[in-house]
Amino acid sequence: MRPTMAVLALVASAAPAMAQSTSYTRPTVALTQAGAEAALRNAERLASESGDPAAIAIVNTDGRLLAFLSMDGVRPGSADLAIGKARAAAMMQRPTEELEANVASGRVALATSGLTALRGGAPLKVNGVFVGAIGVAGTRKEDDAKTAATVSANFGTTP
């Protein structure tokens, strides 16, 4: 038997054993459209209460946009910032406030990574399982961060 054929025969004979001991999939929990819209409405309410119109984006774990709102009076650039903040929070599975702090402390590679490292993004979890993220961009960065953090902290709980 040629060496190539011997290797193929060995791999083929090992395949059933590998399939039994190694799983190639895992169960996942996915953010529904209803969940995305609930987070969006909560953020809209908070932004309205603060008097700071905002653009609000909700994404899934992969950063795909599920829900978006641009409130009356928000600056045009806020839309792209909100989506970027949500995607950054999803990709890193952490609040973007941490990313901004890392850039400010000298980790400038984060600023060139394509992530929006500005406060106002936060992960969304259900029963401790990461399901997506929110991004908020308005007039005041403090309001962006507060709104995103509040929605994140209360996500999945009944009002």
pLDDT at 10: 42
* pTM tops 0.85, yes or no: no
What CATH number does the domain containing 123 carry?
A: 3.30.450.150
Task: Read off the pLDDT of each residue in 127-131 and give the average, rounded to a whole number.
Answer: 94
Q: For the chain, how many structural domains are there in total?
A: 1
pLDDT at 109: 83
Is 48 within the bounds of a domain?
yes
Is 7 within the bounds of a domain?
no
122 has a pLDDT exceeding 50: yes
Query: Which one has a higher pLDDT value, 52 or 68?
Result: 68
| Cβ-defined contacts of 43-47 (< 8 Å, 24+) | 43/69, 43/134, 43/136, 43/147, 43/148, 43/151, 44/69, 44/71, 46/146, 46/147, 46/150, 46/151, 47/71, 47/136, 47/138, 47/143, 47/147
Is 62 within the bounds of a domain?
yes
pLDDT at 20: 60
Q: What percent of the chain has pLDDT over 70?
A: 86
Is 44 within the bounds of a domain?
yes
Is 141 within the bounds of a domain?
yes
With cut-offs at 50, 70 and 90, classify the pLDDT of residue 156: confident
Is 12 within the bounds of a domain?
no
Q: Residue 123's beta-bridge partner residues?
A: 133
Range of the structural domain that residue 116 is part of: 33-154
Torsion of CA 82, 86, 92, 94, to 10 degrees: 90
Quote the Cα angle for 105-59-44, to 5°: 90
12 has a pLDDT exceeding 80: no
Query: Which one has a higher pLDDT value, 107 or 94?
Result: 94
pLDDT at 55: 98
pLDDT at 11: 45
pLDDT at 105: 92
Is 20 within the bounds of a domain?
no
Rg of the Cα atoms in the chain: 21
With cut-offs at 50, 70 and 90, classify the pLDDT of residue 64: very high
Is 19 within the bounds of a domain?
no
Task: Read off the pLDDT of each residue in 116-140 and give the average, rounded to a whole number.
Answer: 95
